[in-house]
């Protein structure tokens, strides 16, 4: 095998997170930055998202996914980041030796620092174990998005959607606009998983019914889906007797969650968070393995791409500094998610700079506050008119507030 390529910063994944991280790593002075993408173009999941709504925070306008990605693709090209397309990273070692596979065969890369920006994949029928036959016509939402928006192919005429997360909702609208009959959206939880705005824009505006506490208990059809059985579920997610009903359709679209592509970060031995399913990181987005960083959807699932971009830009700068100097501010303050919050990220901070914390609540909350406390004293309080699990919360805490931290511990929680 040829000698390894030597680079300052290697970015794995060329989606919005990888693009932003690579551009900023180069901008921060790293001389050789390489971005490795298994697809034949950069942009990641944005390439198939032709709806608008991207860039509302960063650019204050609603761009389509490809328009948003193009801005960052131009930026990495202007800054002379080397992009290797059709290149899959198959292995990463703790001392940052990367093995890739592409049309040249197997190559290795030795990196000063590595940024993992590999995004998410979708949960499939196998992951949720739905009973019934195995006909054609069962798709994940992302697969349908790819067929429709990238390849211009229709997937079916009469569609049932399982899952009311934003992806499911957006696809309900998209399929309707393309002439399909979306019979209903079924959601196993007693409340919708997508943000309130998408419920209105994607379902209510098109008269598509949403059945809560409902699941698909069986899929029917021999060659092609002929229908599904819906059933109500009770408090413990068990099927409620006598609620089964057959719904005719030729397509079942599954929008049942995203799984971070963590094989590389797990393989390298980084500490993982059970709350986010991503790596545990500090405020430089360092994992527990020196020189290995993580950002974007592989770190935490982002509903808004702008936040993935902002987090990744910070990661790119930190990775470049580490590659050039071997130094970054040491994390000395531990963060804890308190009442009402599922998690708060980063897990540790240095306190030497302002931090943009990201977090999600367990449940919908109205007119409450996100409060950062240390030793019983409030460091920062932010009133929030509305919080919901589907919407990531992002709160900046200024550097000066960290001077008041007691016992190296801050708790973030939701209060009246």
Residues that bind ligand FAD (CB under 6 A): 12-18, 36-39, 44-46, 49, 51, 53-54, 88-89, 117-120, 166-167, 170, 261, 296-297, 302-306, 308
Q: Which is nearer to ligand FAD, 111 or 410 (CB)?
A: 111
Q: Which is nearer to ligand FAD, 100 or 395 (CB)?
A: 100
Q: Which is nearer to ligand FAD, 136 or 259 (CB)?
A: 259
Which phi-psi region, left, alpha or beta, contains residue 86 (left: φ > 0; alpha: ψ -120 to 50)? left
The answer to whether the CB of 390 falls within 8 A of the CB of 165 is yes
Q: Which is nearer to ligand FAD, 132 or 194 (CB)?
A: 194
The C-alpha atoms of residue 304 and residue 322 are separated, in whole angstroms, by 28
The answer to whether the CB of 321 falls within 8 A of the CB of 328 is yes
Q: Which is nearer to ligand FAD, 255 or 411 (CB)?
A: 255
Q: Give the shortest CB-53-to-ligand FAD separation in angstroms.
A: 3
Which phi-psi region, left, alpha or beta, contains residue 115 (left: φ > 0; alpha: ψ -120 to 50)? beta
Q: Give the shortest CB-255-to-ligand FAD separation in angstroms.
A: 8
Q: Give the shortest CB-192-to-ligand FAD separation in angstroms.
A: 15
Q: Percent helix, strand, coil in the chain (nearest 5)? A: 25, 35, 40
Residues 6+ apart with CB under 8 A from 218: 130, 131, 132, 228, 229
If you count DSSP H runs as helices and E runs as strands, how many of each does the chain have, helices first?
Answer: 8, 28
Nearest position to ligand FAD, beta carbon:
15
List the one residue out of 84, 351, 127 whose CA is nearest residue 258.
127
Q: Give the shortest CB-220-to-ligand FAD separation in angstroms.
A: 27
Q: Give the shortest CB-289-to-ligand FAD separation in angstroms.
A: 17
Q: Which is nearer to ligand FAD, 49 or 411 (CB)?
A: 49
| Beta-bridge mates of residue 292 | 114
Q: Give the shortest CB-281-to-ligand FAD separation in angstroms.
A: 14
Q: How many residues are listed for the chain in this entry?
A: 416
Q: Which is nearer to ligand FAD, 388 or 413 (CB)?
A: 388
Q: Give the shortest CB-20-to-ligand FAD separation in angstroms.
A: 8
Residue pointed to by tokens 């000698």: 3
Token pair of 395 as six digits: 């709160």
């Amino acid at each position: 095998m040829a000698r390894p390529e030597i680079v300052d910063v290697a970015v794995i994944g060329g989606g919005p997170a990888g693009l932003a991280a690579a551009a900023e790593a180069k901008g921060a002075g790293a001389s050789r930055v390489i971005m490795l993408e298994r697809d034949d173009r950069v942009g990641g999941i944005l390439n198939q998202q032709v709806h608008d709504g991207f860039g509302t925070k960063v650019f204050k306008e609603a761009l389509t996914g490809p328009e948003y990605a193009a801005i960052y693709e131009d930026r990495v090209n202007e800054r002379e980041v080397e992009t290797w397309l059709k290149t899959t990273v198959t292995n990463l070692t703790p001392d940052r030796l990367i093995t890739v596979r592409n049309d040249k065969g197997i190559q290795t890369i030795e990196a000063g620092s590595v940024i993992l920006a590999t995004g998410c994949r979708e949960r499939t029928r196998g992951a949720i174990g739905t009973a019934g036959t195995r006909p054609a016509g069962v798709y994940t939402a992302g697969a349908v998005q790819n067929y429709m928006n990238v390849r211009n192919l229709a997937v079916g005429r009469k569609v049932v959607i399982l899952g009311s997360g934003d992806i499911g909702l957006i696809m309900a609208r998209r399929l309707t606009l393309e002439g399909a009959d979306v019979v209903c959206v079924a959601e196993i939880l007693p409340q919708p998983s997508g943000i309130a705005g998408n419920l209105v824009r994607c379902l209510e505006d098109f008269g598509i019914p949403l059945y809560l506490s409902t699941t698909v208990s069986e899929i029917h059809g021999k060659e092609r889906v002929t229908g599904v059985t819906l059933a109500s579920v009770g408090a413990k997610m068990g099927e409620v007797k006598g609620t089964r009903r057959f719904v005719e359709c030729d397509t079942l679209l599954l929008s049942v969650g995203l799984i971070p592509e963590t094989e590389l970060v797990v393989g390298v031995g980084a500490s993982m968070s059970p709350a986010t399913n991503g790596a545990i990181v500090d405020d430089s987005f360092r994992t527990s393995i020196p020189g290995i960083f993580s950002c974007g959807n592989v770190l935490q699932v982002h509903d808004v791409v702008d936040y993935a971009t902002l987090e990744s830009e910070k990661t790119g700068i930190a990775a470049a500094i580490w590659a050039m100097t071997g130094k970054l501010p040491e994390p000395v303050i531990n963060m804890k998610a308190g009442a009402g919050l599922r998690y708060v990220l980063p897990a540790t901070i240095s306190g030497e700079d302002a931090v943009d914390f990201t977090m999600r609540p367990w449940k919908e909350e109205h007119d409450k506050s996100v409060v950062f406390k240390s030793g019983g004293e409030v460091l920062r309080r932010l009133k929030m008119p509305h919080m919901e699990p589907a919407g990531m919360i992002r709160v900046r805490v200024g550097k000066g507030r960290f001077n008041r931290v007691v016992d190296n511990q801050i708790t973030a929680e939701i209060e009246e």
